[in-house]
Amino acid sequence: MDIFNAKIQTIPRINQKYGEILKKINVTTVGDFLFHFPFRYEDYSERIEIDSIIAGQSATIMGEISTSKLVRTWKKKIMITECYVADDTGSVRAIWFNQPYVSDSLTIGKGVRLSGKVLEDKNGFYFSNPAWELSSREPTNTGRLVPIYPETEGLTSKWIRWQMQNIFKLDLEIQDPIPEDILQELHLPSIKTALQYIHFPQNEHQYLLAQKRFAFQNMLTVQLASLKVKANWEKEACVKIPFEEKLISKFTTSLPFALTNAQRKASFEILKDLGKTRPMNRLLNGDVGSGKTIVAALASLQTAQAKFQTAFMAPTEVLAKQHYDTFCALFKNNELKIALLTNSYRELNNIQNTINKIQTTSNLQTGKQNTKILEDKNAILKRDELLSEIKEGRIDILIGTHALIQKDVRFKNLALVVIDEQHRFGVSQRAFLQQKIETINDGLPGKIPHLLTMTATPIPRTLTMAYFGNLDLSLLDEMPKNRKPIITKIILPSKRKEVYAFVRSQVAKGHQVFIIFPLVEESEKLAELKAATQEHERLSRDIFPELSLGLLHGKLKAKEKEAVMADYKNKKYDILVATSVVEVGIDVPNATVIIIEDADRFGLSQLHQFRGRVGRSQLQSYCFLLASKSTVKSRLRLATMEKTNNGFEIAEADLKLRGPGEFLGVRQSGLPDIAMQHLGNVKLIEISRQKALELLKNSPTLSRYPLLKKELAKFATNVHLE
């Protein structure tokens, strides 16, 4: 019988009831159960004599039950099992609360092992709710390094340990997906030995070695998947977009600012990629305010010059509209047609020729037919009219949300796709986007577009190596020369009035302010409207009655959000009260102060994103972090924000403080916990990539490594690679 792949209910003592409970933690087979790893260990390995115990230590003792009784407290009606355990050196008390069944097992004369923390009261030393088992049994829950597992209702670590012990007594045949020569070279144990080490370690070295082995296995499959995605992408054909040096030079010279060296380098890398016969797949990783948009604009300009189309995709309608306005302003002196397409917006610039064709356009609010040409000479079109313009190739740059990849959107000659703030789409969406781009209606048979993805969340080097290995990388790690570092301060509740006074002084100078009430939990979004509205009313009524306050939250429709942001940009509001919808992309150069409430509840990288809403001009800007829980730990963590404005330094600190799982979002990444815990191990990632390259060189389809190929197929269903 193939025990490893057998249904978990077929194992003796695991019935249908426990089979249903195990399903909750995605365990359906014996193999799944074996790969349900401990997340920590209690060290009960050292057994001591009773007269040697001291208060506060974790200890294991072995002796005989000398007295045992079950009593019910009169006041709280709690059942207490109390017994004394004696060895040759003395005796000690042990008590269990609300576990009357313990009394049935621990009868006088029985030999037992107890493991737990030693406490002390007026009656002397005692163990409170210790782990226990009969001394005649093989150590499982006491007297060893005891594994603690992720649990769920109806499933305890103690039960899991008993079942693990039973399973390891069976005739387990486990095939190892990693070639034996690689394991020997790296001094890693076989899969069966590693499973034994991780569930029943005799010492710390064993379980650490097992964790390293499984982390390597996970990272090897990640790198194999990444390299295969990269290889498949590079087999595709694309159009060559020649590097027009004079065009780019003329355009950059006309800008009212000079490009940073980082922008020049990234732009050159991207423009050179566009000139190749294999499609670009590049990640532009830049700090907040480092100028990613202008780099994307240069790529779009070169694409348009070659008579091809660009699609620019943003995660939200508000950001898409902002990019549309930015591109229209950047290319106001160029003969480029730029359009906006989202579920709420359909706009087109440079439309004189189009106006002659279009007699009526739809009113988006009422559906009535009327002619509407905006003051800035933009037109609002019916969807089918705009789709026709795109299909006929009369649109050079199309900006929008994921609406751009809907089935009815057809291009004439789409050669470049830009995805902004790619991390905001979610992992499965990003994987879908890349697959979709390969099959998009680009109007170029046998070709796929070049792909440029951008993120304003600086990604630490180890995560880039581990998780974005299929992408070429360009870094924007330099800020524009005229930007002053944002002055950041941690503010205690007692200093709140001083901050409000500072806000008034900034508004008096003509500057504007953000006040952020960000939300953390998904469930909180249900109360977002009420919370944001109440804070807006309180601040307007009690704190800043003389000032004008706007309100921005996630429950507003796209048009309403845009109207609020437009009013704020046009200085109708002195202060914008907002939730986390302002985290990415909103650009208001006149805003010089941001106050972040409950700052201690957030990761540093997210705080850095919020802070990036100010400091977007030559004006000195300020960020105040209001911590509701002013603990030493939270102040030390937030102090990183005071010390540096460098997003990459903050990301590295955030990674160390929160761990890779929290930084990436464990559910977002799909990576197993063991791989997550080792994402900071640069050497392990480098070795796994090197071995992946060697394996694919020896066997590009992995046909020589069928077990590894099978593991990769299974892994690919759980982990999405952008």
What's phi and psi for 552, nearest 5 deg? -135, 125
pLDDT value of position 343: 79
| Co-location of 18 and 68 in the same domain | no
* Domain C-terminal end among 615, 644, 673: 644
Largest CA distance in the chain: 104
What is the number of H-type helices and E-type strands within the chain? 25, 25
Residues 296 and 399 in one domain: yes
- Co-location of 300 and 440 in the same domain: yes
Q: How large is the average pLDDT for residues 240-259?
A: 93
Share of residues in the chain with pLDDT > 70 (%):
86
Intra-chain end-to-end CA distance of the chain, in Å: 39
Q: Is residue 91 part of a domain?
A: yes
- Three-class DSSP category at 309: strand
86 Cα distance to chain centroid: 53
Of 576, 611, 644, the domain-final residue:
644
Q: What is the pLDDT of residues 78-119, one digit of tens each?
A: 889 999 999 999 999 999 988 888 888 888 999 999 999 999
Quick one: pLDDT at residue 534? 84
Contact 302, 243 (CB under 8 A): yes
CA angle 643, 649, 653 (to 5 degrees): 85
pLDDT in tens, 52-65: 999 988 889 999 99
Say which range, 36-45, 385-394, 430-439, has the weakest mean pLDDT: 430-439
The answer to whether 192 and 31 are in contact (CB under 8 A) is no
Q: What is the CATH number of the domain that holds 418?
A: 3.40.50.300
> What pLDDT, in 10s, does the model give residues 10-28?
888 888 888 899 998 889 9
Please list, in sequence order, all residues whose beta carbon lies within 8 angstroms of the beta carbon of residue 603, skipping any fewer than 6 positions away: 654, 658, 662, 663
Q: Which residues contact 629 (CB under 8 A, 6 or more apart)?
A: 600
In angstroms, the CA 107 to CA 84 distance is 10
| pLDDT the model gives residue 537 | 92
- What value, to the nearest 5°, has the Cα angle with vertex 460 and ends 454 and 461? 100
Range 519-522 contact pairs with CB under 8 angstroms and sequence separation of 24 or more: 519/579, 519/580, 520/601, 520/602
Residue 87 tokens, joined? 């060895």
User: Tell me, what's the pLDDT at 316?
Assistant: 81
Residues 440 and 542 in one domain: no
Instruction: Answer yes or no: do 133 and 255 share one domain.
Output: no
Are 692 and 618 part of one and the same domain?
A: no
Q: Which domain holds residue 579?
A: 487-644
DSSP designation for 543:
I
| 596 part of a folded domain | yes
Which residues does 651 contact at the CB level (< 8 Å), separation at least 6? 457, 458, 459, 460, 604, 605, 608, 663
Domain count along the chain: 5
Average pLDDT, the chain: 84
For residue 529, the model assigns a pLDDT of 62
* Structural domain includes residue 475: no
Both 232 and 264 in a single domain?
Answer: no
- The pLDDT value recorded for residue 667 is 44
Structure tokens given for 128? 């409170």
Same domain, 295 and 412: yes
Write out the two tokens for 366.
């009422």
79-87 and 90-97 strand pairing: antiparallel
pLDDT digits (tens, 9 = 90+) for 651-685: 888 877 776 655 655 444 556 677 767 766 778 88
Per-residue buried b or exposed e for 567-596, using 16+ beta carbons within 10 Å of the residue's own CB: ebbeeebbbbbbbbbbbbbbbbeebbbbbb
* Contact criterion met (CB below 8 Å) for 210 and 249: no
CB atoms under 10 Å from CB of 425, counted, come to 21
Region 527-551 average pLDDT: 86
Rounded Cα gap, residues 378 and 349, in angstroms:
5
**Tokens found for residue 159:** 């039960």
Residues 550 and 583 in one domain: yes
What percent of the chain is modeled with pLDDT above 90?
44
Residue 271 phi, psi dihedral angles, 5° rounding: -65, -35
In this structure, the dihedral spanned by the alpha carbons of residues 548, 552, 556 and 558, taken in order and rounded to 10 degrees, is 100
Domain assignment of residue 112, yes or no:
yes
Same domain? 305 vs 446: yes
pTM of the model: 0.74
- Residue that is last in its domain, among 143, 164, 199: 143
CATH of the domain at 127: 2.40.50.140
Geometric angle at alpha carbon 609, from 607 and 614, rounded to 5°: 100
Is residue 363 domain-resident?
no
In a domain, 422, yes or no: yes
Are 130 and 226 within one domain?
no
Does 538 lie in the same domain as 553?
yes
Tell me, yes or no, whether 575 lies in a domain: yes
pLDDT band at 541 (very low <50, low <70, confident <90, very high): very high
Q: How many residues in total does the chain contain? A: 722
User: Mind listing the pLDDT tens digit for each residue in 363-386?
Assistant: 333 333 322 333 334 567 788 889
Give the pLDDT score at 593.
97
- Rounded to the nearest 10°, the torsion over CA 5, 7, 10, 12 is 70
Do 294 and 286 form a contact (C-beta atoms < 8 A)? no
Contacts of 343 (CB under 8 A, 6+ apart): 317, 401, 403, 558
**Angle at alpha carbon of residue 221, lines to 663 and 448, rounded to 5°:** 85
By C-alpha distance, which of 141, 133, 128 is closest to 96?
A: 128
For residue 478, being part of any structural domain is answered with no
- pLDDT tens across 619-644, in order? 999 999 998 766 777 788 899 999 99
